[in-house]
Homo-oligomer: A and B are copies of this chain.
Amino acid sequence: MAEPRIHHFDPNRFRWDGVDERDYKFHQGAEAGWGWRDVTRHVLTGRDDPAAFEMRYFEIGPDGHSTLEKHRHTHAVTIARGQGKVLLGDRVIGARPYDFIYVPPHVPHQFVNCGPQPFGFFCVVDRERDRPQALSPDELTRLTAVRETAAVMRL
């Protein structure tokens, strides 16, 4: 029987005992939207756990952002700290702690920190999942043509 795992939370550091901080992604791609800035990844459950999902905590520093991407697998996102904006399809969502955001298959999305504090969120994904893709030139053109999305997206 596998041992239970407890990661107590330290509110002063906003970190969990026994959970390592890792790079968000290992490579920065050359395609538009494939860059990211000031993002850390904390794996709460991962590939070694016998579950159909993985749960991660991501934290984006001031002026940081995730990649602008799309994929077949879904995201179940719960905001944990700070305030950010989420580019989601053709909309921009303001996000605060405990807001819940469901990203369905193939919907382009990007998480952007617009404030002075870290912007952190839990994100649950399928264990078996497809690789994220960059947006098509047509998709990028559409997002760039609308002021609301153009103001938030980071390429």
Contact = CB atoms under 8 A, between A and B. Distances in A.
Interface stretch (A85-93, A110-118, A142-150): A85-93
Nearest to A98: B9
Q: Top 4 A-B pairs ranked by shortest CB distance? A: A53-B53, A2-B104, A9-B98, A52-B52
Interface string A65-92: 0000000011010111000000011010
A5 to B, nearest CB: 4
A97 interface: yes
A32 interface: no
Interface residues of A, number: 47
Interface of A: 1-9, 11, 16, 19, 44-45, 49-53, 55, 73-74, 76, 78-80, 88-89, 91, 93, 96-107, 122, 124, 126-128
Contacts of A104: 1-5, 49-50
A122 B53 CA distance: 14
A30 to B, nearest CB: 27
A52 B128 contact: yes
